[in-house]
Amino acid sequence: MKSLLKISFASVVLGLLFTSCKDDDDYQTIESVDKVKIDSVKIVNDTMDVFSVQSIRTYSNYASGCQGFYGYDYVHLSDLERDITAYQFSTNGPCSQASHKSANQINFSPRKKGKYTFRFWKGNNEWITKTIVVE
């Protein structure tokens, strides 16, 4: 009986040693994250109420299928001013050469009344400026 347990234990240990974990090649590694120009911005309502929520959509172009939207840098310059910069990721996988456009959004929910100014980075020192009045 002791021999049978030793053999069973040894076979389990050998089985674990020779079994490799499956490499999951279904994902691509992000190689870099860089700024991407915001080409246009859509704000549905330029007037809204305090504590309501509005989606602000931004649109950017990407050079290949290995690039896509990564996130925003949303900077409060003051109580009523915001600078927004979009970022793109680049992966190491096989890429389609087709450029594509992507739409993304920020949900804005103001906490106080005022005239909010949003500046969206368009490249170099250029910005798209939008204003929302909160009543």
For 48-104, how does the pLDDT look when each residue is reduced to its tens digit (9 = 90+)?
999 999 999 999 999 888 899 999 999 999 999 999 999 999 998 788 778 889 999
pLDDT on residue 96: 74
- The CA-atom distances, in angstroms, between 3 and each of 6, 7, 10, 11 are 5, 6, 10, 12
Q: How confident is the model at residue 33 (pLDDT cuts 50, 70, 90)?
A: very high
Q: How confident is the model at residue 4 (pLDDT cuts 50, 70, 90)?
A: very low
For the chain, what is the HEC assignment? CHHHHHHHHHHHHHHHHHCCCCCCCCCCCEEEEEEECCCEEEECCCEECCCCCEEEEEEEEECCCCEEEEEEEEEECCCCEEEEEEEEEEECCCCCCCCEEEEEEEEECCCCCEEEEEEEEEECCEEEEEEEEEC
Averaged pLDDT of the chain: 86
What is the mean pLDDT of the segment spanning 27-49? 94
Model confidence at 23: pLDDT above 70 = no
This prediction's pTM: 0.77
Model confidence at 113: pLDDT above 60 = yes
Instruction: Spell out the domains of the chain, with CATH numbers in brackets.
Output: 26-134 (2.60.40)
Q: What is d(CA 50, CA 116) in angstroms, rounded to the nearest whole number?
A: 12
Model confidence at 43: pLDDT above 60 = yes
